[in-house]
C-alpha cells in the first residue's frame, strides 16, 4: 500500500512530538503532557502505521515494544575501546592521583605550577555500561562493554529503553558513539520485585542485577517491560561533531542532542574540590532514587586528557572514588586450596553463607599463607567479610573476642590436592606452587581456559565444562590437541549437540591464524600479560624471533624487566613446551607476523623520533600511519612538545597544529611522511 502524502506528513509530525515528550519525561524529568494525552498520540501513530505499513521505520516510537526473540547475542567490536577506570578507596589515593596529574600537566606547560587542575566530578551510577552508536543521527547499534574491545550486540533491547533517543536532535554528527550506564531506579526496582513476587517469580537481588539481567534478555519484549533508564557520561568514536575543548562542554552537547545526562555533575578545582564533592555526595547518597557506588573524577580539558593518556586498560586522566565497601560478619568453616594455571596455590575460605554487597557469599580469598598469618585468621573464627562491587570477596579480619577455644591455625599442604605433586614455595615469593606443571590436571584445565579466552585465541563455545570433560577423558593434554578436535567426537560430549559441535569447530578454524600478540598471551607464560605480549610482538615481529630471543634481547623491549625476560626464556627452553609449540605448528596453526614489529637497527628512518598525528590523513588511517611509524623506529605520541620531531597534519587539524607552530616543530603532510618512510 502506498501511503498518502497527508498520512506521511502526520506520521512524521507525531513522531517528532512524541520524541520531544519522551525527552522531556525521561531525560529532563519534566513531563509536558499527561499520560492520557501521551497515550492518545501514540495510539494515533500506531493506527496510521498499521494502515500504512510502508511508513514504519526502526526509530519510530511504536517500535520500542520489542521484536522477536534472538537465538543468541552476536559480538560487536567497539570502534574505540571501552576502558575501565582505576579505583580509589582512600583519600591518600585521590591526593596521589591529583599530584600525578598536576605534575604531568605542569611539565607539559598546560597549567602553571601553582595552578590547580580543573576536574569534572560526577556520580558513578551502579548499572551496566553500554555503548550506543548513532549514524546520521539514528540509532544503529548498542553493545555491552564486554572485554573492552568486543561486547555483545544488544541493539534490540536498548531500543526498548524510553530514555534512549532513537533519533538525535539538533545538528547531528555523522557518527557518534555514546557511552553510558543502564540502570534502574529504586522505586522502579521495588515495584518490579513486588510484581514478580505476586506472580510467584524469583525476585532480583538489587537494582544493578535487575538492570543487567533485563538488558541481557534474548527476548527484547521482556526487556521492554522492565523499567530501565539510561544516562550518558562519555563518548567513543565521533565524526562530524563540534570542535569542543572541555569534557563538560561535550556532555552539554550530548544533552542538546537529546541524550539524558546527569545533572549532578560539577567542575571542581584540585584535590580539595574532589574530596568536597565526594563527601557532599556521600551525605545525600542514601536519599538518591538510584544506586551509586562512588563518584568519578575526569580532567576537564580534552587536550590535557590526551597528554595524560592511558595506562594498560585505564585512562590516567580519570579516577573512580568508591565509597566504603559493604561488610558483614560470618563464621569461617574451613580453608581449602585452589590450584591456578601457573601452579599457584591460593587458600580459599569456606564461609557460613552471608549476604553482603548484594550477593550471598560462601567463599572468600585469603591470598596466600603470609596473609593468613598476618591477619591471624583461624578456622572457626567469626570474621569480617568485605565485598566491593564485582571485586572477589575477601576476609578483612577475625573478631578475636569471639574466637573459639583451640581454634586451629592453617597449615599449607605439602602435596597438591589435584595431582599429588610436591608443593614448593620459591625463595623471595609469597606464593606456593604445585610442581606438577602440565602433568597437573588443574593447571592444564586452567591453562587451556586461558588460551581459548576472548583476549587470547577467542575460541567461542570451548568453555570450562567442555574443557573439563576433554581433559578428564584424556582427549586434550595440551593446547595442540584442541586443533585436532572434530565435529563428530565433540557431538558425543555432554550438552554438545551437532550444531554446538559445528560452532566450536568453526571457532577453532578461525583461531588457526592468530595475531602474534594474542598467541603469545595465550601461551600463559608467567608475567606475560596483554600489554607485555603486545610490546614483545611489536618489537620482534615474528614468533620464531621471539622463540629464539635471549634475555638480553628481551630486556630491550619496552616495559620488559628481568623477571619477564627470564620467564620467557625459561618457557621457550623447556622441552615439553617446545614439543607443544611444534605440535601446534604441525596441526596447521599459522601465527601472523606483527607488521608493527621491529628489530633494533641503526638504519630505521625514524629511530627514536617522536611523531604526533593530527587531523584526517588523505589515504592512511591513524592506525595505519602509526604502524608504519613504529615499524620505522618512531614513537607516536599524543602531545606536542619541544622534543617532538614532526607533526603530521591532515585536514581539520586542531590545537596540536597550533602548538607545533608555536614551538617551531616541523609540520609535514602524509606525502612527506611517506617520503621519510621510503614509501
The C-alpha cell 585469603 sits at 366
Task: Output the average pLDDT for the chain.
Answer: 86
Cα gap 414→424, rounded to integer Å: 8
The mean per-residue pLDDT over the stretch 518-538 comes to 87
Is-contact 255 261, C-beta < 8 A?
yes
Strand partners, 76: 151
The mean per-residue pLDDT over the stretch 315-337 comes to 89
Cα gap 639→108, rounded to integer Å: 9
Cα gap 291→129, rounded to integer Å: 14
Cα gap 172→59, rounded to integer Å: 15
**What's the pLDDT tens digit per position in 453-479?**
988 999 999 999 999 999 889 899 889
Cα gap 38→40, rounded to integer Å: 5
Four-CA torsion 286, 291, 293, 294, nearest 10 degrees = -70
Of 173, 127, 143, 138, nearest in space to 79 by CA: 143
- Structure letter (DSSP) for residue 26: I
Candidate ranges 322-336, 372-386, 419-433; pick with highest mean pLDDT: 372-386
**Which sequence positions are flagged as catalytic?**
124
Does position 449 have pLDDT exceeding 50, yes or no?
A: yes
Q: What is the pLDDT of residue 47?
A: 82
Estimate to the nearest angstrom the gap between the alpha carbon of 157 and the chain centroid.
Answer: 20
**What's the pLDDT tens digit per position in 348-357?**
999 999 988 6
Q: pLDDT tier at 413 (50, 70, 90 boundaries)?
A: very high
* CATH class assigned to 437-510: mainly alpha
Q: pLDDT tier at 56 (50, 70, 90 boundaries)?
A: confident
The grid cell for 618 is: 588523505
Does position 599 have pLDDT exceeding 50, yes or no?
A: no
- Structure letter (DSSP) for residue 189: H
Distances (CA, A) of 495 to 161, 192, 498, 501: 35, 33, 10, 10
Candidate ranges 123-132, 366-375, 439-448, 576-585; pick with highest mean pLDDT: 123-132
Burial of 2 (0-12, 13-18, 19+ CB in 10 A): exposed
Distances (CA, A) of 616 to 12, 620, 627, 648: 36, 9, 16, 10
| 3-class SS of residue 295 | strand
Domain with CATH 1.10.150.20 in the chain: 437-510, 516-586
**What's the pLDDT tens digit per position in 22-43?**
766 655 656 677 666 776 787 7
Strand partners, 33: none
Domain with CATH 2.40.50.140 in the chain: 328-435
CATH 3.40.50.10190 holds for 610-677: yes
Give the residue ranges of DSSP H helices in 108-235. 155-158, 186-198, 207-215, 220-224
Q: What is the pLDDT of residue 87?
A: 85
The backbone torsions φ and ψ at residue 437, rounded to the nearest 5 degrees and listed phi first, read 55, -140
The grid cell for 5 is: 502524502
Of 443, 426, 423, 445, nearest in space to 434 by CA: 423
**What's the pLDDT tens digit per position in 136-174?**
999 999 999 887 888 889 999 999 998 899 999 877 899
The C-alpha cell 567490536 sits at 77
Cα gap 75→72, rounded to integer Å: 10
Is-contact 88 296, C-beta < 8 A?
no
Number of H helices, E strands in the chain: 25, 24
Strand partners, 335: 349
- Which residues, 6+ apart, have CB-to-CB distance to 444 below 8 Å? 438, 471, 477, 478
CATH 3.40.50.300 holds for 516-586: no
Quick one: CATH architecture of 5-65? Orthogonal Bundle (1.10)
Domain with CATH 1.10.287.610 in the chain: 5-65
**More confident site: 524 or 506:** 506
* CATH class assigned to 328-435: mainly beta
Cα gap 407→383, rounded to integer Å: 13
Cα gap 4→60, rounded to integer Å: 18
- Which residues, 6+ apart, have CB-to-CB distance to 22 below 8 Å? 61, 162, 163, 165
Q: pLDDT tier at 66 (50, 70, 90 boundaries)?
A: very low
- Return the CATH fold of 118-322: D-amino Acid Aminotransferase; Chain A, domain 1 (3.30.470)
pTM value > 0.85? no
Q: pLDDT tier at 646 (50, 70, 90 boundaries)?
A: very high
Q: What is the total residue count of the chain?
A: 679
Domain with CATH 3.40.50.10190 in the chain: 610-677
Amino acid at each position: 500500500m502506498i501511503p498518502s502524502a497527508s498520512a506521511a506528513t502526520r506520521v512524521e509530525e507525531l513522531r517528532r512530538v512524541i520524541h520531544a515528550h519522551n525527552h522531556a519525561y525521561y531525560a529532563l524529568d519534566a513531563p509536558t503532557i499527561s499520560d492520557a494525552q501521551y497515550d492518545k498520540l501514540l495510539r494515533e501513530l500506531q493506527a496510521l502505521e498499521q494502515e500504512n505499513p510502508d511508513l514504519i521505520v526502526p526509530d519510530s516510537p511504536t517500535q520500542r515494544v520489542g521484536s522477536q526473540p534472538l537465538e543468541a547475542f552476536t559480538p560487536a567490536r567497539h570502534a574505540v575501546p571501552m576502558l575501565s577506570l582505576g579505583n580509589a578507596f582512600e583519600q591518600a589515593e585521590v591526593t596521589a592521583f591529583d599530584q600525578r596529574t598536576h605534575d604531568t600537566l605542569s611539565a607539559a606547560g598546560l597549567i602553571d605550577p601553582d595552578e590547580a587542575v580543573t576536574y569534572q566530578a560526577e556520580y558513578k551510577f551502579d548499572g551496566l555500561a553500554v555503548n550506543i552508536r548513532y549514524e546520521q543521527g539514528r540509532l544503529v547499534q548498542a553493545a555491552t562493554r564486554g572485554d573492552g574491545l568486543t561486547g555483545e550486540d544488544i541493539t534490540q533491547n536498548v531500543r526498548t529503553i524510553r530514555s534512549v533517543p532513537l533519533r538525535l536532535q539538533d545538528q547531528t554528527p555523522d557518527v557518534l558513539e555514546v557511552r553510558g550506564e543502564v540502570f534502574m531506579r529504586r522505586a522502579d526496582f521495588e515495584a518490579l520485585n513486588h510484581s514478580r513476587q505476586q506472580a510467584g517469580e524469583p525476585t532480583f537481588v538489587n537494582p544493578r542485577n535487575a538492570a543487567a539481567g533485563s538488558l541481557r534478555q534474548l527476548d527484547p519484549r521482556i526487556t521492554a517491560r522492565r523499567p530501565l533508564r539510561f544516562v550518558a557520561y562519555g563518548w567513543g568514536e565521533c565524526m562530524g561533531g563540534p570542535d569542543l575543548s572541555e569534557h563538560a562542554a561535550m556532555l552539554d552537547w550530548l544533552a542538546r542532542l537529546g541524550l539524558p545526562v546527569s545533572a549532578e555533575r560539577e567542575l571542581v578545582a584540585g584535590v580539595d574540590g574532589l574530596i568536597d564533592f565526594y563527601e557532599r555526595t556521600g551525605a545525600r547518597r542514601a536519599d538518591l532514587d538510584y544506586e551509586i557506588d562512588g563518584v568519578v573524577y575526569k580532567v576537564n580539558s580534552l587536550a590535557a586528557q590526551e597528554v595524560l593518556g592511558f595506562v594498560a586498560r585505564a585512562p590516567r586522566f580519570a579516577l573512580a572514588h568508591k565509597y566504603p565497601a559493604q561488610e558483614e560478619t560470618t563464621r569461617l568453616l574451613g580453608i581449602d586450596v585452589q590450584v591456578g594455571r601457573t601452579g599457584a596455590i591460593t587458600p580459599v575460605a569456606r564461609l557460613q553463607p552471608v549476604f553482603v554487597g548484594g550477593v550471598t557469599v560462601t567463599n572468600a580469598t585469603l591470598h596466600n599463607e603470609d596473609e593468613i598469618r598476618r591477619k591471624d585468621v583461624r578456622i572457626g573464627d567469626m570474621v569480617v567479610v568485605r565485598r566491593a562491587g564485582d571485586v572477589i570477596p575477601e576476609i578483612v579480619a577475625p573478631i578475636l573476642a569471639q574466637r573459639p577455644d583451640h581454634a586451629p591455625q592453617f597449615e599449607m599442604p605439602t602435596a597438591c590436592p589435584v595431582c599429588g605433586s610436591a608443593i614448593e614455595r620459591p625463595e623471595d615469593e609469597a606464593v606456593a606452587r604445585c610442581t606438577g606443571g602440565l602433568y597437573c590436571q588443574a593447571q592444564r584445565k586452567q591453562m587451556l581456559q586461558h588460551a581459548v579466552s576472548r583476549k587470547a585465541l577467542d575460541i567461542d563455545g570451548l568453555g570450562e565444562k567442555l574443557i573439563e570433560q576433554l581433559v578428564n577423558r584424556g582427549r586434550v593434554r595440551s593446547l595442540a590437541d584442541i586443533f585436532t578436535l572434530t565435529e563428530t567426537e565433540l557431538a558425543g560430549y555432554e550438552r554438545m549437540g551437532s550444531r554446538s559441535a559445528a560452532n566450536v569447530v568453526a571457532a577453532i578454524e578461525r583461531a588457526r591464524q592468530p595475531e602474534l600478540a594474542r598467541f603469545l598471551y595465550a601461551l600463559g607464560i608467567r608475567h606475560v600479560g596483554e600489554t607485555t605480549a603486545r610490546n614483545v610482538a611489536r618489537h620482534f615481529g615474528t614468533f620464531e624471533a621471539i622463540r629464539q630471543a635471549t634475555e638480553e634481547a628481551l630486556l630491550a623491549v619496552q616495559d620488559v624487566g628481568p623477571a619477564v625476560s627470564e620467564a620467557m626464556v625459561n618457557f621457550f627452553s623447556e622441552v615439553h613446551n617446545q614439543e607443544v609449540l611444534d605440535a601446534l605448528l604441525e596441526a596447521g596453526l599459522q601465527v601472523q607476523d606483527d607488521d608493527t614489529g621491529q628489530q633494533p637497527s641503526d638504519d630505521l628512518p625514524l629511530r627514536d623520533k617522536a611523531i604526533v598525528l593530527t587531523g584526517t590523513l588523505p589515504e592512511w588511517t591513524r592506525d595505519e600511519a602509526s604502524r608504519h611509524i613504529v615499524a620505522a623506529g618512531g614513537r607516536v605520541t599524543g602531545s606536542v612538545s619541544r622534543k617532538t620531531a614532526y607533526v603530521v597534519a591532515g585536514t581539520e587539524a586542531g590545537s596540536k597544529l597550533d602548538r607545533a607552530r608555536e614551538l617551531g616543530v616541523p609540520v609535514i603532510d602524509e606525502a612527506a611522511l611517506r617520503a621519510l618512510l621510503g614509501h
